Chains A and B, each alone.
Chain A
Amino acid sequence: MKSIWKFFESVKLAIVLFIVLTLASVLGTLIPQGRSAAEYAARYGSLSGLFVKLQLTGLYHSAWYLALLFLFALNTIVCTLARLGPKWRRAFRPSPEVDDKSLQLMKIKGRVRIPGPFPAAVERVRKALASRHYRLRTAGAGTRIAVVAQKRRLGWFGSDTVHVGLLIILAGGVISGLTSRRADLELRVGQTADIPHAAFQVRLDRFETEYYPQGGVKAWKSTVTVVENGAPVLTQVVEVNRPLTYKRFSFYQTSYGWDWENSRLEIDIKKPADPAYLKTLSLKVGERLAVEDADFTHLAVREFVPDFVIGEGNEVQTRSMEPNNPAAQVEVWKGEERIYTGWSFAKFPDFGEGHKVGQASLTFILKNFEASQYSVLEAAKDPGATFIWLGCLFVTAGFFLAFYWPPREIRLVLEEVQGKTEAVLGGFAPKSREAFQTEFDILVESLRRTT
């Protein structure tokens, strides 16, 4: 048990862990994380199996990386605890008694004869130190008094405060990992969605995408109403960077999409042989419309893709969900016989021209397409986050204490020697030696002066 404690008390372990964690973290940025097995196989060939086995493809969530973080936490706890006791006594229960030898060994020291009778001299020392915001403890009586004066005592605990903060952050991470709940909600306008693990629903009232005049998305705005027990309780516009929070759940604007499957299309039909001929049809994808015409009886749109591309296997695909190359697959029927199937492109109307349909030649132009957008909100509950902020507060405060609140300590022995007061002083301020030296010298000088 003792040897385990010793192991975790060592700063050498901390240093090894810093180095190992650094190298492991670098490795995780060189190997793309969380991709498909096929992608790794294509990228690394026969090595990919080894990578998966060593959990290098999900490195930051791997058992061994988490184990490293766990060791790091244990190391931090033990190191901090081991040093805290002596530090605490030193800061809050210092013994004023000090022998001359240790005073002589201090790097900042002085010796001064204080004018006036002994009690008055002691009082002067007390006042001089108090006016410089030092707290005093004294020991001894009669002709020898020992004093320890301290200020900015919290400065001793800067690194400990940072360590506590880091431990709270790590604990917060564990709590997040175990208890956080997330769900993507795909909401069409008017739709209400249940939130997993919550006793309320959210409804999307309105969704709009705002654009800058020069192009580019300015904002996605979802007007969301929280519905509890069938009654609306809260309505708010959710945007990126402006989540809605209700009963520990937050709702984030994370994405949006187009409802292409329900798009409404407008298709122009022309006949190259008859310039006066024009029919404009409005129909939904999958709909079959009766048309009065000598050459055919029905027209249908079988499929619509927003970003047409021919895949490797010669099949039609969509490259993205954005309307970059909208295309509709048009079918023409004469009674029960399908007499034409072909693609029409909104951006390339020429492709739709002069197709042989039965005996006739027809042109199909995809004139217009309309689809509603839906909003994707993320519903998230993360009880760990509170710990993260608390930990961050400790870390920040700890840095301030460690770097900008340097503690100072002055030890004095006052002795009455043949009716005169001799004072021996020693100072200790490892983090601000130069500034402290100045203060110390001024103090000694002020004690030497006759008032």
Chain B
Amino acid sequence: MTEATLFTITFVLYILSAFVYLASVFAKKEKWAGSGLVLAAAGLAGHTGALILRTVVSRHAPFTNMYESLSFLAWATVLALIVLDRKIRIPRVAPYMMLIAVGLVALASSPLMPKDVTPLVPALQSYWLWLHVSVTLLGEAFFAAAFIASLLYLGADTEEKKQKMDSVSYRAVAVGFPLFTLGGLVFGMVWAYKAWGTYWSWDPKEVWSLITWFVFALYLHTRIVMGWKGKRSALIAIIGFLAALFTYFGVNYLLSGLHSYA
């Protein structure tokens, strides 16, 4: 089986999963959420296969251009969903996470994204590529969960729903923030030091990951020390995710700097 076939199967499974999850929420068939999770897991297995195949063919980590990195972010989003759903049950958040995954895969499949396997430029030839990118994107996937939970908090009509969404958002940040710090900032600094001889250059992508870090640090301090919960917390989590999104996506297209290759 080729990478393209597996990728298509993955896409179909993700769409089915999103559909079943959405049906479980809007048709109030809570049992269907279980099927949504199974479909998501099956999709993730196919996706993992596609990523492995691509790694074998390209002989480098599967996140060195926009197509690869979007595909990997979709993978990380589904993984985050499965972890959170198994740990704390997130039937209301899951459908939208699947929609994000579907959107990312669709974006990756668009003709605008070159899918050719290209050899690595010297700067990217390092095992830190694996650690830096994968851990950062996994952290960002958990931020996506916090983002959705926060949006759902703002739209929730009952106190019970609000409490649940507030808690999901915090739990997702509690996983995402350490991962983002470790992968994005710590591993990023170590790699920069090895490749460029300096651990910090105030490159726009570096600054934006620091900005993202400040926003989530603000989230934790206002919440834990000042006792902010609910609406204000949700707004900060939303801003934090948007900052992470800009770090990942916007910096490449709108600002120039050292990270111009990825």
Contact = CB atoms under 8 A, between A and B. Distances in A.
Interface of A: 11-12, 14-15, 18-19, 21-22, 25-26, 28-29, 33, 60, 159, 173, 182, 212, 214, 216-220, 239-241, 243, 250, 252-254, 378, 380, 382, 385, 388-389, 392, 395-396, 399-400, 403
A182 B197 contact: yes
A254 B186 CA distance: 22
A216 B261 CA distance: 13
B207 A15 contact: no
Interface string B179-192: 00110001001100
B194 A243 contact: yes
Interface residues of B, number: 42
Interface in B118-161: 118-119, 121-123, 125-126, 128
Given A22-B211, A217-B121, A385-B199, A14 B221 contact: yes
B221 A33 contact: no
B193 A239 contact: no
A158 to B, nearest CB: 10
A29 B181 CA distance: 20
A92 to B, nearest CB: 22
B211 A11 contact: no
A21 B214 contact: yes
Contact of A15 (B182, B218, B251): B218
A154 to B, nearest CB: 16
B221 A15 contact: yes
B186 A392 contact: yes
A23 to B, nearest CB: 9
B19 interface: no
B208 A399 contact: no
Which 8 residue pairs of A and B lie closest in terms of their CB atoms, listed nearest first?
Answer: A240-B122, A399-B178, A252-B197, A18-B218, A241-B126, A380-B197, A60-B202, A392-B186
A92 B16 CA distance: 54
25 contacts: A11-B226, A14-B221, A18-B221, A22-B218, A25-B207, A29-B204, A29-B207, A29-B251, A33-B202, A159-B224, A212-B119, A216-B118, A217-B121, A217-B122, A219-B125, A241-B195, A243-B194, A252-B197, A378-B197, A382-B197, A385-B199, A389-B190, A396-B178, A396-B181, A403-B178
Contacts of B178: 396, 399-400, 403
B210 interface: yes
B196 A252 contact: yes
A388 B207 contact: no
A19 B128 CA distance: 31
B255 interface: yes
A26 B211 CA distance: 7
Contact of B202 (A28, A216, A395): A28
A182 B251 CA distance: 28
Contact of A240 (B125, B186, B204, B225): B125
Given A15-B222, A18-B221, A28-B207, A388 B121 contact: no
Contacts of B249: none
Contacts of B98: none
B221 A25 contact: no
B245 to A, nearest CB: 14
Contact of B122 (A15, A182, A220, A403): A220
B115 to A, nearest CB: 16
Contact of A22 (B195, B198, B215): B215
Nearest to B224: A159
Contacts of A216: 118-119, 121
Nearest to A241: B126
Contact of A29 (B118, B208, B215): B208
A171 B195 CA distance: 23
Given A252-B197, A399-B177, A29 B255 contact: yes
Interface string B236-254: 0000000000000001000
Contacts of B181: 395-396, 399
A31 to B, nearest CB: 11
A25 B195 contact: no
Given A29-B204, A241-B123, 5 more contacts: A29-B208, A218-B119, A254-B197, A380-B198, A389-B190
B174 interface: yes
A425 B110 CA distance: 61
Interface in B75-91: none
Could you say which of A214, A378, A385 has the most chain B C-beta atoms within 10 Å of its C-beta? A385
Contacts of B222: 15
B195 A240 contact: yes
Contact of A25 (B193, B198, B214): B214
B233 to A, nearest CB: 13
A407 to B, nearest CB: 14
A399 B177 CA distance: 9
A149 B217 CA distance: 32
A257 B120 CA distance: 21
B210 A25 contact: yes
Given A29-B207, A399-B178, A382 B198 contact: yes
Contacts of B226: 11-12, 15
A51 to B, nearest CB: 17
B163 to A, nearest CB: 13
Nearest to B173: A403
Contacts of A218: 119, 122
